[in-house]
Structure 1
Amino acid sequence: MEPIPMTPIAQVVGGRTEPTDDYWGGTQAIIRLDPDLFPLEATQGLEEFSHLEVVFFFHLTDQTDLNLGLRRARENPAWPEVGNLGHRNMRRRNWLGISRCKLIKVDGLDLHVEDLDAVDGTPILDVKPWFAEFGTRGKTHQPAWVTEMLGDYFAPSTTA
């Protein structure tokens, strides 16, 4: 397969400065779109949506720490070994993350968001409005360890 060149379209401004496993709830940041790539009209109508889906690059991850085989989430011995595609963390072949966050307001090319689990300086590759019709269709299921692991993921931060 041929490589796919990508250019970030925006950058996260503010919010967290360090990636952590939990307590992303209430984290506010700005997705600042590149004015060299977008006119102001690019965000027109976006304020009508409650949520965005954001594709970003895990720029702080040690890219030598890539294990495409089996491993336990958060190295927890109580959870099963799962292959790389059974995880959603930063150790991905292309170092891409996807997050659904609340859109608080649109201010020109600044998208004010909440619950985006990306840190200050994160390169943004794409932003899409969340369409409810693209959500889950049919019954869902997942292993119990995922529910246990993510119990505090979007809980409010425990630090002031």
Structure 2
Amino acid sequence: MSDVFSVEALGHVVGGRTEPTDDYWGGTRAIIRLDGDRFPFDATKGLEEFSHLDVIFRFHRTDPTDLNFGARRPRDNPDWPEVGVFGHRNMRRINWLGSSRCRLVKVDGLDLHVEDLDAIDGTPVLEVKPWFEEFGPRGEVRQPTWTSEMLRDYFAPAPPTV
């Protein structure tokens, strides 16, 4: 059942954070720089009309020996239940793919200025799509309480440094 295929990065994250961390991504600004050797400037035409993007990227700094396909406690917190790899959104995944919805601040040619993208400087970007409201959740949304506890500060602004 294993299909193997290759995917090419269409750009990279420039700027923003340099280290992956669990929290405080709020207000983080970065640029998704699309590959100018493959894409003409008009590849982004009309994108400025959208407020948000869905971005698929590769966790390029994940330790391949740190993959866990079974159940574990999120962030190793003993107060939270064990969940399997498909019941969590961390970087320990077989294909090392991440997805993020971020705010589009500005389009400057092939540079997409974004905010709240939880990918670090140098991250290969595999896909960028405008977010359509119609693709949002349909019907009742539910999730366990541990996810809200875990993500309470995920998109909070970074605390001031002393």
Give TM-score scaled by structure 1 length: 0.98
Q: CA deviation at 1:2?
A: 2.8
Query: How many residues are aligned here?
Result: 160
Question: How far apart are the structure 2 equivalents of 1:159 and 1:96?
Answer: 31
Could you tell me which residue of structure 2 aligns to residue 149 of structure 1? 150
Could you tell me which residue of structure 2 aligns to residue 7 of structure 1? 8
Question: How far apart are the structure 2 equivalents of 1:63 and 1:159?
Answer: 33
Give the match's secondary structure for 1:20: coil
The percent of aligned pairs where both chains have the same amino acid is 69
Could you tell me which residue of structure 1 aligns to residue 56 of structure 2? 55
Q: CA deviation at 1:159?
A: 4.0
Could you tell me which residue of structure 2 aligns to residue 21 of structure 1? 22
Could you tell me which residue of structure 1 aligns to residue 72 of structure 2? 71
Could you tell me which residue of structure 2 aligns to residue 121 of structure 1? 122
Question: How far apart are the structure 1 equivalents of 2:61 and 2:68?
Answer: 17
Q: How does 1:33-44 map to 2 (within 5 A)?
A: 33-44=34-45
Q: In angstroms, what is the RMSD of aligned CA positions?
A: 0.7
Question: How far apart are the structure 1 equivalents of 2:89 and 2:3?
Answer: 24
Could you tell me which residue of structure 1 aligns to residue 86 of structure 2? 85
Question: How far apart are the structure 1 equivalents of 2:17 and 2:53?
Answer: 18
Question: How far apart are the structure 1 equivalents of 2:22 and 2:147?
Answer: 13
Structure 2: which amino acid aligns with 1:19?
Answer: P
Structure 1: which amino acid aligns with 2:106?
Answer: K
Question: How far apart are the structure 2 equivalents of 1:83 and 1:26?
Answer: 30
Question: How far apart are the structure 1 equivalents of 2:45 and 2:17?
Answer: 27
Structure 2: which amino acid aligns with 1:41?
Answer: D
Runs of 4+ in 1 over 4 A off after TM superposition: none
Could you tell me which residue of structure 1 aligns to residue 33 of structure 2? 32
Question: How far apart are the structure 2 equivalents of 1:159 and 1:107?
Answer: 30
Give the match's secondary structure for 1:64: helix
1:137 aligned to 2:134?
A: no
Write out per-residue CA displacement over residues 47-83 of structure 1, whole angstroms, 9 at most, x where no aligned residue.
0000000000000110110110010000000000000
Q: CA deviation at 1:43?
A: 0.3
Give the match's secondary structure for 1:74: helix
Question: How far apart are the structure 1 equivalents of 2:50 and 2:70?
Answer: 38
Structure 2: which 5+ runs fail to align? none
Could you tell me which residue of structure 1 aligns to residue 98 of structure 2? 97
Question: How far apart are the structure 1 equivalents of 2:46 and 2:133?
Answer: 16
Q: CA deviation at 1:24?
A: 0.3
Structure 1: which 5+ runs fail to align? none
